[in-house]
Amino acid sequence: MPRLTPSLRVSLRALGIGFVDDLKVLGLYHTKRRRGGDRVCPGGMQVMGIVRSGALAEYVAVPAEAVRILQDGTSAEAGPRFAQISHGPICADRARKLQAGEQMLVPGAAGGVGTAAIHLEKIFGGRVIAAASTEEKRKFCARSITRNRIP
């Protein structure tokens, strides 16, 4: 049996959802289920956490390393917003490591993070290969890649 990552049981007050969450609810996206924990810690702190699956519930098991304490006065809605926009710096870091002329595949390129990755890759001089699920989204990607081309 694989070793379980320590997790915290978090009472959900707000969450951010994306396209993949819709697929999960419809049963069209396969995810592995995790076994629940057996310890409880004192509560009361307002936290945010990032989980790959299972956040559409009253309580969520969040890996301990993915939990951050929110400052006093931070709204419950701010946590999910931060989690969604935090993908941008990750994309920037990956794009920064590419050399001019290299290629980067951007799956889901018509989404918010994908569009950001396209623009970052253009800044760093790479070539973008945009992947999207529909013709309309692919046309959007083509416009994003050619618009504001950086010499």
pLDDT digits (tens, 9 = 90+) for 110-122: 887 788 777 777 7
Looking at the structure, tell me whether residues 63 and 130 fall in a common domain.
Answer: no
Looking at the structure, tell me whether residues 16 and 57 fall in a common domain.
Answer: yes
What are the distances in angstroms from CA 91 to CA 68, 85, 105, 112?
Answer: 21, 11, 12, 11
Total domain count for the chain?
A: 2
Does residue 81 lie within any of the structural domains?
yes
Q: Whole domain around residue 68: which residue ranges?
A: 7-85
87-97 helix and 78-85 helix, angle to the nearest 10 degrees: 10
Does residue 2 lie within any of the structural domains?
no
Boundary of a domain, candidates 56, 85, 114: 85
Q: Percent of the chain, pLDDT > 70?
A: 70
**Three-state secondary structure of the chain:** CCCCCCEEEEECCCCCCCHHHHHHHCCCCCCCCCCCCCCCCCCCCCEEECCCCCCCCCEEEEEHHHEEECCCCCCCCHHHHHHHHCHHHHHHHHHHHCCCCCEEEEECCCCHHHHHHHHHHHHCCCEEEEECCCHHHHHHHHHHHHCCCCC
Looking at the structure, tell me whether residues 42 and 100 fall in a common domain.
Answer: no
Is pTM, for the whole model, over 0.85?
Answer: no
Looking at the structure, tell me whether residues 65 and 120 fall in a common domain.
Answer: no
pLDDT digits (tens, 9 = 90+) for 60-119: 888 888 888 877 888 877 777 666 666 666 666 666 677 777 788 888 888 877 887 777
Residue 44: predicted pLDDT: 74
Looking at the structure, tell me whether residues 92 and 80 fall in a common domain.
Answer: no
Q: Using the CB atoms, write b or e for 87-111: b if 16+ within 10 Å.
A: beeebbeebeebeeeeebebebbbb
More confident site: 39 or 95 = 95
> The domain that contains 138 carries what CATH number?
3.40.50.720
Looking at the structure, tell me whether residues 94 and 70 fall in a common domain.
Answer: no
Looking at the structure, tell me whether residues 119 and 78 fall in a common domain.
Answer: no
Looking at the structure, tell me whether residues 55 and 105 fall in a common domain.
Answer: no
The Cα 85–Cα 113 span in angstroms is: 8
Boundary of a domain, candidates 48, 69, 85: 85
